[in-house]
Amino acid sequence: MKRLIAAALLVFACSNFAQADDQKELKTNRRDTAFHWLLGGYIVLQSADIYLTHRGTELGFEEANPVFDTGRSVIAAKAAIVPLTTWGLSAVHKKHPGLAKGLLIGLNAVYAGIVYHNMKVLKEVD
């Protein structure tokens, strides 16, 4: 679990600095703390989903999402989604901050449900 938290913080820190082209933009983005908290929550939920999916596949469960294949490719694909969506949401935030926050609220709600479901399924096995 400590590795999961460390990985989530690392991804969050990298995405924060990757979106800043110059010092002015970095100062502007730091003012919008709501966006950054929502983005941080999204990254943590994605990391929890990746961890729980990995744990579930080790126990013999299959990925329920029909978009993903089974096996290690699921973990790699989910891990690749995190920086891509973070970058995309940061780009949307530059021109449409309200839209980016709304998208993050929706994504966080969906992933909170997914993480809850995965935890519930794994708890029944333990």
Q: What digits encode the pLDDT tens for the residues 64-105?
A: 776 776 666 777 888 888 999 999 999 999 999 999 999 999
φ/ψ region of 29 (left if φ > 0, alpha if ψ in -120 to 50, else beta) reads alpha
- Residue span of the structural domain in which 99 resides: 2-125
What pLDDT sits at residue 21? 46
For the chain, how many structural domains are there in total? 1
Q: Find the mean pLDDT for residues 29-54.
A: 88
> Does residue 25 contact residue 91 with C-beta atoms inside 8 Å?
no
Tell me what pLDDT residue 44 has: 95
- Give the pLDDT score at 62: 77
